[in-house]
């Protein structure tokens, strides 16, 4: 098992109320009892019995089955929650993060997300990953080291910002940080401030807007292989 799987298994095994801990992680991954039961090939009543602690504490083998089933179902859902935890910042501000094993043309991505370029920065470039964050929460709560995590293993990536009001703060954050992304995308921005456009041009970091929501974008970006 990987780090997150070991964390979940350890919490269940050591919990004074193993049923509530199983339920906590099932809900964290937004998995229904029925989905979990189907993946484990057991009756739904068994899941209910474990979560209500009507059954005795499960052994290591059963805990592993629970954990692996939850991970597999979450992966079937797209894997965004797992990617967030594995990035090292299990944080509400980080919505999704992913990396590619090849260069992906930025203009192709802009087309896929129905994006619109707001600045004159050159979009003829390639990316190797993407990060989707809540702009306000990231700026207010991320430490310097956590902000670095947004770049994954390569700064050659798109950073998507949700909850953009004036449109200044994300580009100011990009301006002052030594690492620069390949592009910035505002998701359903209330407006794009002139200062944001100017900073985009100064840094030569394309500023793009899209009216798709973050979940549609996460699905599109994670489907790129």
pLDDT at residue number 216? 93
The pLDDT value recorded for residue 142 is 63
Show the domains of the chain with their CATH numbers. 3-77 (1.10.260), 91-223 (3.40.1390.20)
Give me the pLDDT at residue 166, please: 78
Question: How confident is the model at residue 88, as a pLDDT?
Answer: 61
pLDDT at position 49 is: 93
**Rounded Cα distance, 3 and 90, in Å:** 13
What is the structure's pLDDT at 176?
A: 80
Closest to 221 measured CA to CA, from 191, 185, 190: 185
Q: Which residues of the chain have pLDDT under 70?
A: 1-2, 87-92, 136, 138-154
């Amino acid at each position: 098992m990987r780090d997150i799987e070991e964390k979940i298994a350890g919490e269940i095994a050591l919990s004074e109320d193993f049923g509530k801990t199983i339920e906590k992680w099932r809900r964290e991954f937004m998995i229904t009892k029925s989905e979990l039961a189907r993946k484990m090939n057991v009756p739904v009543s068994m899941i209910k019995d474990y979560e209500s602690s009507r059954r005795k504490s499960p052994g290591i083998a059963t805990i592993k089955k629970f954990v692996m089933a939850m991970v597999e179902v979450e992966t079937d859902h797209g894997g965004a929650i797992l990617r967030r935890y594995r990035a090292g910042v299990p944080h509400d501000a980080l919505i999704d993060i992913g990396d590619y094993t090849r260069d992906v043309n930025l203009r192709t991505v802009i087309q896929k997300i129905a994006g619109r370029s707001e600045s004159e920065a050159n979009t003829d470039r390639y990316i190797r990953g993407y990060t989707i964050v809540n702009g306000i929460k990231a700026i207010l709560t991320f430490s310097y080291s956590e902000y670095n995590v947004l770049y994954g293993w390569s700064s050659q990536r798109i950073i998507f910002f949700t909850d953009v009001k004036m449109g200044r703060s994300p580009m100011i954050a990009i301006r002052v940080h030594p690492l620069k992304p390949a592009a910035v995308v505002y998701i359903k921005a209330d407006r794009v401030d002139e200062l944001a456009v100017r900073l985009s041009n100064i840094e030569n970091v394309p500023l793009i807007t899209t009216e798709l929501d973050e979940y549609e974008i996460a699905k599109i970006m994670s489907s790129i292989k």
